[in-house]
Amino acid sequence: MQEQPRPSAPASARDPLAWGVALLALAGFAASLILWRSGGGSVDVSWASELDLRLHFSFDGLGALYALLATGVGAAVFAYATAYLPLHLEHQHRPARDRWRFWPWMGLFTLSMVGLATAQDLILLFVMFDMTAVCSYFLIGFDRQERASRLAALMALLVTGIGAVAMLIGAVILYADHGSFSIPELSRTLQASGAASTTTTVATALIAVAALTKSAQVPLHFWLPRAMAAPTPVSAYLHSAAMVAAGVLVIGRVYQLIEVSQVVLDGLLVVGLLSIAIGGAISLTRDGFKQVLAYSTISQYGYVVALYGIGGRAGAGAAAFYVVAHALAKSALFLTAGAVTMATGARKLSQVSGLWRELPALAAASAVAAATLSALPLTIGFFKDELFFHAAAGRSTALGIAAVVAAGLTFAYTWRFWSGLFLGPRRACEKGASQPLDPLPLLLVAPIAVLALLAFVGGLVTAPFAELASDAAAATLGHPAEVHVAYHLDTRTENLMALGAWALGALLLATPRAWGGAARALARAGDRVGPARIYESGLNFLNHLSTAFHDIEVRDLRSRVAAVLVPGGILVALGFIATPTAGAFSVGPISGTDLLVVAMLALVAVAAIVVTSAHEHVAIVLSLAVVGLGLATVYALLGAPDVALVAVLVETVVTLVFLAIVAYAPRGERPTRRELAGAASRPHRRQHESRRWRDPLIGAVAGSAAFLVVWASLSRPAATERVVNEQVRLTPEAHGLDVVTVILADFRGLDTMVEITVIAVAVFGVIALLRRGRTW
């Protein structure tokens, strides 16, 4: 272990940038709370009417729930990070200015989560969904000097980015099928239809896959444990209350689209149960603080996904309540892990124990968080499991039994984590058993205590939390859905299930030898043949494939040209195959000037073939001149004398330049194919022979594609309204006298803006190099 700094808050902990972001999050929490209590509101502005795209945000119950979590938990985590980040940078011997690579991304992530929570348009939802992925990439990779951080950031970006693409495809399919990106409008349409078509099922399944990817659900869960390479505040915020919550938020937002397909609902239930089991079992085998919590997060969000799979008022209400309770507890436990690491230098359970004696406040606050996660009475977590038990038992007895086993797993891995830190004999990695620990800065403990206090108050004063969950469930279902929670001292089913879960959890804690082998075997199997290994193998394959294609492409000029022409021709061919073209093309009679055009095009084709086969320099130049002048003649015959004149001038000048070069070049002829073949070595001879069929094939593919594109472009357009009419109508609004002037001005303005952007990027690049002392 590397030496840890003394955990006393330096002056940089009072950094105005850090506190500015934290105070903005706190102000956002207050604003969200006020807006929720006042009934919410909405903004609906069209920004691309041709594509039916709107900036539609609505602060309904679901938006309020996740906005309050993003800002409220964010404020607590940010306050913690004001003390943690300077210590983290000091420990890694990094300059304090690196905080500028942390705080802006944390603030932007918060805004993205609020935007995602309130978005009412599928494309807007996709944009906000992707913004969270971009922010998380920079935050997970904050320690960019460490290879593990860079790889973890890349993995999170790729996996969740692929999920975002699936969401976009699903949104486009729904638009093509129903003509709208508006989530409320699509919900009304699908609910009225009563049953989902195959197209709708595929579209909603793709959106659900995107959500499951973001929430790290099996088998797309493997990126989350790797993301624990991030600093602790990032893990506490993104991977317990924000980014991972974005996935189940999407499910809640589009639930009315999903619920018309029972197949998708059943899929959510199965994935949720698998995530609960696999995440919980592997969590019991992990030694690292954050690894235990990462796998428990996979398991905990499996509860929420399974509840959405159960559906109805019971499922949606329980899912909303569960997200709140989990966010409070898990973020506090992540912060606890970071505080323990700062105090002791340890990162694994096997390196520490008995810390309650020297860190009593931290032990007490984290104990409340652990009690919340394991659903003990007097905490808000008790009711999350009660609602879960009610929904599961109401679905089937088998599902009720599975719910008890799931809750038992939660109890076991939660108290294994807490007891491993704070109970038992005193042991600390860096300090030794007898040496006292340095006191923790207040800001490394106070946010944990605040979160624990909220969880405790939620167990006593349940009405605000139940009301928030009710409003969120109502927004999810599209109709009122009351969530009622209260203590009942009787033998009702939920209480008996809770007792069974606690007993099972205690039994698992007491008998690690009985189940340890099986759990470790499951973890090893996942490491060897699981999705993480598949991801790594796939990435390596793509890297090798990319290298092979790159080697082929850069071999010579022919290969570079072929790398453009062949894929382009194939894509054009696929487009024509997939597009209905029956009756779209026809060959009419050839007469009049058409005969001259055909004759000139035939001459051009012959001249082009001569260029590829001639060996005398003068013959090549003259053949090229025939090609250019022949096309100029075609332009003139088709009624474009101005273009023809320009072509004649250009071809004349180019031909004269080439002839001058040939006149002053060394004498000699281009060698014949036979001479080349005789002079070449055997590998080069084989390569030369392969070109005899390769080059004509490439030419045929590219030529056919160009012919199809030109033919399609010159075909008579469909009988629809022409764009020029709209351009003529809008010309006065652009303060122009004619259409051509306005178009030129618009394009020139856009071109200038791009040029300015390029210059600005270059300036920043030069500044960055100069600041690093690199002037070459």
| DSSP assignments along 263-321, one per residue | HHHHHHHHHHHHHHHHHHHHHTT--BHHHHHHHHHHHHHHHHHHHHHH-HHHHHHHHHH
CA–chain centroid gap for 61, Å, is 25
Question: Does residue 491 or residue 770 have the better pLDDT?
Answer: 491
Amino acid at 745: A
Q: What is d(CA 349, CA 225) in angstroms, rounded to the nearest whole number? A: 16
Average pLDDT over residues 525-544: 87
Lowest mean pLDDT among 57-71, 569-583, 631-645: 569-583
CA end-to-end span of the chain, whole Å?
A: 39
CA distance 376 to 555: 67
Q: Which residues of 576-609 are buried (b: 16+ CB within 10 A; e: fewer)?
A: beeeeeeeeeeeeeeeeeeeeeeebeebbeebbe
Q: Would you give the distance in Å from CA 333 to the centre of its chain?
A: 26
Query: Cα separation of 384 and 406, whole Å?
Result: 13
**Residue 391, both tokens:** 């929904």
Residue with the larger pLDDT of the pair 735 and 92: 92
Residue 423 has pLDDT above 60, yes or no: yes
Instruction: Copy the structure tokens of residue 171.
Output: 């949104």
321-325, 592-596, 750-754: least confident range: 750-754
CB 73 within 8 Å of CB 326 = no
Using CA atoms, how far residue 48 sits from 118, 171, 471, 508, in Å, is: 19, 16, 31, 57
**How far apart (Å, rounded) are the C-alpha atoms in residues 372 and 325?**
7
Residue type for 488, please? H
For residue 81, the surrounding DSSP H or E stretch is helix 61-91
Does residue 647 surpass a pLDDT of 70?
Answer: yes
pLDDT of 109-163, one tens digit each?
A: 999 999 999 999 999 999 999 999 999 999 999 998 898 999 999 999 999 999 9
Give the residue from 113, 135, 128 showing the smallest Cα distance to 62.
113
* Helix, strand, coil percentages, rounded to 5, for the chain: 75, 5, 20
Q: What is the mean pLDDT of residues 324-344?
A: 93
Element (H, E) at 200: helix 198-214
pLDDT at 499: 95
Q: Which tens digit of pLDDT belongs to each residue from 468-500? A: 999 999 999 988 888 999 998 888 899 999 999
Inter-axis angle of helices 446-460 and 380-395, to 10 degrees? Answer: 50
Please say whether the beta carbons of 139 and 102 come within 8 A: yes
Q: pLDDT by residue (tens digit) across 611-635?
A: 877 878 888 888 889 998 998 998 8
- Which long-range contacts link 389-397 to residues 24+ away (Cβ below 8 Å)? 389/493, 389/494, 389/497, 389/498, 390/314, 390/318, 390/493, 390/494, 391/307, 391/310, 391/312, 391/314, 391/315, 391/318, 392/306, 392/310, 393/493, 393/494, 393/497, 394/310, 394/314, 395/310
Angle at 710 between CA 704 and CA 711, to 5 degrees: 85
Region 695-699: what's the mean pLDDT? 78
Q: What is the rounded distance in angstroms from the CA atom of residue 389 to the CA atom of residue 375?
A: 11
pLDDT at residue 353, as a whole number:
87
Distance of alpha carbon 135 from alpha carbon 148, whole angstroms:
18
For residues 64 and 70, what is the distance between their CA atoms, to the nearest angstrom? 10
List, for residues 721-754, the tens digit of each pLDDT value.
567 777 787 788 877 777 777 777 776 677 777 8
Mean pLDDT calculated for residue range 520-547: 87
CA 536: distance to chain centroid?
A: 18
How far is it, in rounded angstroms, from Cα 359 to Cα 161?
Answer: 41
* Region of residue 47 (left: phi > 0; alpha: psi -120 to 50; beta: else): alpha
Cα–Cα distances in Å, from 277 out to 266, 408, 410, 611, 700? 17, 11, 10, 69, 57
Tokens 């300036």 belong to 763
Whether pLDDT at 2 is above 80: no
User: 693 falls in which pLDDT band (50, 70, 90)?
Assistant: confident
The model's pTM: 0.79
Q: Which residue has the tokens 């709140």?
A: 324
Q: Which residue is associated with the tokens 């990094």?
A: 94
**Mean pLDDT over all residues of the chain?**
86
| Residue range 420-442: mean pLDDT, rounded | 73
Beta bridge partners of 348: 288
Residue 54 in contact with residue 121, Cβ under 8 Å? yes
Region of residue 208 (left: phi > 0; alpha: psi -120 to 50; beta: else): alpha
